[in-house]
Amino acid sequence: MNGKVPKRIATILLNSLKGGVVPRTGLGYIAVGREKELNALLNDVNFIEEGGATFRFIVGKYGSGKSFLLQMIRNHVMDKGFVVMDADLSPERRLTGTKGQGLATYRELVRNMSTKTKPDGGALPLILEKWISSIQSDLLMNGNVKVDDPKFSELVEKEIYRVVSQVEGMVHGFDFAKIILTYWNGYKEGNDEKKGAALRWLRGEITTKSECKELLGINIMITDDNWYDYVKLLAVFMVKAGYKGMLLLIDELVNLYKIPMTVARQNNYEKILTMYNDILQGKAEYLGIIMGGTPQCVEDTRRGIFSYEALKSRLEDSRFANDEARDFLAPIIRLKPLTPSEMTILVEKLADIHADLYQYERKVTLDELIHFIQIEFSRVGALTNITPREIIRDFIELLNTLYQYPEKDLLTIIQSDEFQNHSQPFADQDVSDEFASFEL
């Protein structure tokens, strides 16, 4: 992505990055050094569009660009006509649990359901309305029927029945189809209560059989145990509704690693195994799943994902893989630290964006940027533990200072005792960050 960055996007980029948060937009303007990883995921997208299914893990330390990469692929697939659902795991949101933690994750995924025209979540009602409207428009364009024709509603209903009948053969497909038809009936009758009940069910908000029976006439609901089956149904339905496929993004796998009870932790890993096997055995269509986590929460054989032998045997690297010959077709994509030259390119992009936003001529030279990066990478432990997030936050703060105090210059600031003292040695963040909120 080239050219001048729009002011709104530039503001979002700089504010988000300064706060240590991945921006939702404008990432193409600052993307550096992840071409191979991104291309591997884009190949997956093409496969999903053709009716396949994929499962990947993105593994990297805190601040390494893991969430950045996930956001990049999110934006790309939405532009391509995909539906995206994303959620961060937490103590209250897991893949399965005894207190509704799995269902909580499903609810978060549906709440964050996004499309190109609804990128910030909450897209489910819009998708259903758009689908029904497109059926109506297609019928009118054919010219065989008019809106006021009594047959019009019949023909719309016939097409809706035709679409939903295609998912009835899937696991829980009959009940799912019935819910979609309930929504249509509410739409047709102008009955917001009926439409609302169908949406609540699809969002996993109806949690008792009696309520299901009373509102919708069925005895089944979305639960901790079956929510993934409904994700597969949604993926197929979205394609029938005019989209290219569906992508599921689940980040912060470390929260499974932190589960203190071994049995509960293993149950969640078993859920990952079920989903992984499902994908590889061709039991899902038009669905991509990407999970993000740190190296430790994946590879720790004591309590990480690799503590579950069935997953370890499927996911661990082959003996041929190494840093010089990384396998980007493997289920795990490991993010390596950006090189000093890549970080130099990144901070130069940020310097240009900052200057354009605040309308001043950039004074920071390339040599000064190189010197700044050299200082950052010379800190003790930097080669293994430095992350783009830390360097970016330092740099934006530096740009803000130079903008507000034009009498200062970059070299003077970074060579000052204050900056040098601020640039403390790096600790091994993989352990300290992950256990910062650990509770027994």
Q: Transcribe 226-281 into DSSP letters.
A: THHHHHHHHHHHHHHTT-S-EEEEEE-THHHHT-S-HHHHHHHHHHHHHHHHHHHT
Q: Under a CB-based contact definition with an 8 Å cutoff, are residues 59 and 335 in contact? A: yes
Supply 279's token pair.
């994908």
Distance (Å, rounded) from C-alpha 234 to C-alpha 245? Answer: 10
Q: What angle do CA 293, 294, 296 make, to 5 degrees?
A: 125
The number of angstroms, rounded, from the C-alpha of 287 to the middle of its chain's C-alpha atoms is 13
Q: Which residues pair with 177 in a beta bridge?
A: none
pLDDT(427) > 50: no
In three-state secondary structure terms, 57 is strand
- pLDDT higher for 49 or 394? 49
pLDDT(437) > 50: no
The domain defined by 34-115+243-334 carries CATH number 2.30.29.30 = no
Say what percent of the chain tops pLDDT 90: 57
pLDDT(285) > 80: yes
Supply 146's token pair.
């008019």
pLDDT in tens, 137-162: 888 887 677 777 778 888 888 889 89
Name the helix (H) or strand (E) containing 292.
strand 287-293
Supply 85's token pair.
């659902």
pLDDT(135) > 70: yes
Q: Which residues pair with 246 in a beta bridge?
A: 83, 287
For the chain, the farthest-separated pair of C-alpha atoms sits apart, in whole angstroms, at 82
pLDDT(340) > 90: no
Instruction: Say what the pLDDT of residue 426 is.
Output: 47
- pLDDT higher for 123 or 406? 123
Instruction: Say what the pLDDT of residue 425 is.
Output: 46
Say what percent of the chain tops pLDDT 70: 90
pLDDT in tens, 181-238: 999 999 989 999 999 999 999 999 998 999 999 989 888 999 999 999 999 999 999 9
| Residue-by-residue DSSP string for 130-154 | HHHHHHHHHHHHHTS--TTSHHHHH
Instruction: Say what the pLDDT of residue 336 is.
Output: 82
**R_g over Cα of the chain:** 25
Supply 127's token pair.
């998708």
pLDDT(306) > 50: yes
Instruction: Say what the pLDDT of residue 424 is.
Output: 52
Distance (Å, rounded) from C-alpha 300 to C-alpha 306? Answer: 6
pLDDT in tens, 65-76: 888 888 889 999
Instruction: Say what the pLDDT of residue 328 is.
Output: 80
pTM value? 0.86
Residue 339 pLDDT level (bands cut at 50, 70, 90)? confident
Instruction: Say what the pLDDT of residue 389 is.
Output: 82
Instruction: Say what the pLDDT of residue 223 is.
Output: 94
Of 81, 361, 132, 105, residue with least CA distance to 253:
105
Q: How far is CA 106 from CA 66, 101, 111, 239, 326, in A?
A: 22, 9, 8, 20, 33
> What single-letter DSSP state applies at residue 307?
G
Q: Where in the chain is the domain with CATH 3.40.50.300?
A: 34-115+243-334
Return the axis-axis angle of helices 366-378 and 340-358, rounded to nearest 10°. Answer: 130
